[in-house]
Chains A and B, each alone.
Chain A
Amino acid sequence: NAGVTQTPKFQVLKTGQSMTLQCAQDMNHEYMSWYRQDPGMGLRLIHYSVGAGITDQGEVPNGYNVSRSTTEDFPLRLLSAAPSQTSVYFCASSRDQNTEAFFGQGTRLTVV
């Protein structure tokens, strides 16, 4: 019963580098989302998906891309990392739009 799995758990990037944060869920959930959590702020929605092939922007999408080629996977791509993207990133999934969201353990990203 893995639930939502994120990799890596920790990452340090240099400014301008690109990388992909991986997220996979084994609960056959249609809805998946990416959030970032910064000190003094609530989790903020970056991108979300309501099913394979369908993605949309959240409130802080700039600098990030997503794709949803399968129900299970929802990777988040940083195209050119900036220090402002230093944060803790959480992936979440839910069965539908009104039910509990299950979160991965998070990825702590530092951009230097």
Chain B
Amino acid sequence: RKEVEQDPGPFNVPEGATVAFNCTYSNSASQSFFWYRQDCRKEPKLLMSVYSSGNEDGRFTAQLNRASQYISLLIRDSKLSDSATYLCVVKRPGGGNKLTFGTGTQLKVEL
């Protein structure tokens, strides 16, 4: 079983739609959780951290369920510019900023 699992998609949605991505992780001792965005042939960039109480940043909402080892990302009012691959990222226990990445979920927002 992969340490971090995501649905690879692609998710093709019309502009203005609401879309949700899910992610599960296997190590219950994982400490920090993030969503990164990666555009085609570019480096990953932090979209948002995920906190236990859930958090929102504009059109983006992230949720964490430690009991179910489940992370989600909700995008409201999708824009064409949201088209990208969204990476679920979990920090491993122990020293160093050792991150485990999901394979990513591809989003395509269409007119």
Contacts and interface: CB of A to CB of B under 8 A. Distances in A.
B96 A50 contact: yes
Interface residues of B, number: 23
Interface in B24-43: 31-32, 34, 42-43
Would you call the interface of chain B mostly helix, strand, loop, or mixed?
loop
B22 interface: no
Interface in A44-74: 44-45, 48-50, 56, 58
Interface in B86-111: 87, 91, 95-104
A92 B44 CA distance: 10
Contacts of B50: none
Interface of A: 31, 33, 35, 40-45, 48-50, 56, 58, 90, 92, 94, 96-101, 103-106
A106 B96 contact: no
